[in-house]
């Protein structure tokens, strides 16, 4: 009798607990929940993070990386993005080789104004992962896209090419560096850079291609200088390169090594036309 009563009471207790659990769960789901961006409301000092990770900096990196991984960006404020940049910089300091960290930083931070934090993460990753060309590539892309610094961008793209293990990837990255070099304002630097890359190239055809790029930039620099002199004399830029020859500023229109024709835009900048 007592055993049966105990079983009834135990069963009733279990049903009561289940009922309370269901009710509590339903109530919790109905409550407004803070967005994941709440993870980015505070930046914890690095020494405190290491202490909380029992002195293990690798664990501290993983814990901080998890904060960045689960964050929701839909309702984040500029201050939240600043803290996210700080958190990801901390991960790079604890464990610079953390792969997820540099991926997340590249995908989010530079596009929300946290370029300095992004570049710090990518520099650390590039140094810690010499087998991985992507951090150096992203660093170079950011320099070109956000800072318009072709010189620095090309330097990082060359680092990426040197870190690539696949020969075809190396060639493609160096060709991209040659394209970026053309965007630089410093023609003399770009010409020197292209010729330095030509000396490094193991393939003769690619070395010849880089030399042609250098010659094209030299031709364009000479034409732009003559166009500026033409304007000093006439008050306007020449309508075409041939006008500079007729004015005695050039002995001949330079021949483009790729077979294109040079043109002058209304601002006196030299371009090419196929």
Give pLDDT tens digits for 1-17: 444 444 444 455 555 55
Token couple for 94: 């604890």
DSSP state string for 95-116 = -TT-HHHHHHHHHHGGGGT-HH
220 vs 48: which has the higher pLDDT: 220
- Return d(Cα 165, Cα 129) in angstroms, integer: 12
Share of the chain above pLDDT 70, in %: 82
What ranges do the domains of the chain cover? Answer: 36-129, 130-184, 186-274
- Return d(Cα 184, Cα 144) in angstroms, integer: 10
With 0-12 CB in 10 A as exposed, 13-18 as middle and 19+ as buried, what is 225? middle
What is the arithmetic mean of pLDDT over 189-211?
A: 81
Give pLDDT tens digits for 66-124: 877 776 666 678 888 899 999 999 999 999 999 999 988 998 899 889 999 999 999 99
220 vs 192: which has the higher pLDDT: 220
pLDDT value of position 10: 47
pLDDT value of position 235: 94
- Return d(Cα 236, Cα 19) in angstroms, integer: 87
Average pLDDT of every residue of the chain: 83
Give pLDDT tens digits for 51-73: 888 888 888 888 888 877 776 66
pLDDT value of position 183: 72
- Return d(Cα 204, Cα 33) in angstroms, integer: 63
pLDDT value of position 230: 95
Neighbour count for residue 212 (Cβ, 10 Å): 16
170 HSE (CA, 13 A, CB side)? 13
150 vs 35: which has the higher pLDDT: 150
What is the arithmetic mean of pLDDT over 134-143?
A: 94
- Return d(Cα 138, Cα 135) in angstroms, integer: 5
Share of the chain above pLDDT 90, in %: 39
Distance from first CA to last CA of the chain, Å, rounded? 101
- Return d(Cα 10, Cα 33) in angstroms, integer: 35
């Amino acid at each position: 009798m007592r055993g049966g009563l105990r079983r009834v009471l135990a069963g009733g207790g279990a049903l009561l607990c289940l009922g309370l659990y269901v009710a509590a769960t339903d109530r919790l789901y109905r409550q407004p929940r803070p967005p994941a961006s709440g993870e980015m409301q505070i930046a914890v000092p690095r020494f405190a993070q290491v202490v909380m990770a029992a002195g293990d900096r690798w664990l501290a990196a993983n814990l901080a990386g998890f904060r960045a991984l689960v964050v929701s960006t839909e309702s984040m404020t500029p201050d939240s993005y600043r803290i996210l940049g700080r958190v990801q910089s901390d991960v790079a300091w604890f464990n610079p080789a953390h792969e997820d960290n540099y991926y997340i930083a590249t995908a989010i931070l530079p596009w929300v104004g946290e370029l300095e934090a992004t570049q710090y993460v990518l520099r650390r990753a590039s140094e810690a992962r010499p087998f991985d060309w992507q951090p150096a590539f992203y660093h170079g892309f950011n320099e070109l896209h956000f800072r318009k610094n072709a010189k620095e961008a090309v330097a990082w793209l060359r680092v990426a090419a040197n870190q690539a293990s696949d020969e075809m990837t190396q060639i493609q990255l160096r060709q991209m560096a040659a394209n970026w070099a053309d965007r630089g304002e410093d023609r003399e630097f770009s010409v020197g850079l292209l010729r330095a890359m030509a000396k490094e190239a193991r393939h003769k055809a690619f070395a010849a291609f880089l030399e042609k790029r250098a010659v094209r930039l030299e031709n364009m620099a000479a034409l732009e200088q003559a166009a500026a002199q033409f304007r000093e004399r006439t008050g306007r830029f020449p309508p075409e390169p041939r006008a500079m020859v007729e004015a005695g500023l050039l002995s001949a229109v330079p021949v483009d090594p790729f077979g294109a024709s040079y043109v002058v835009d209304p601002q006196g900048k030299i371009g090419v036309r196929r």
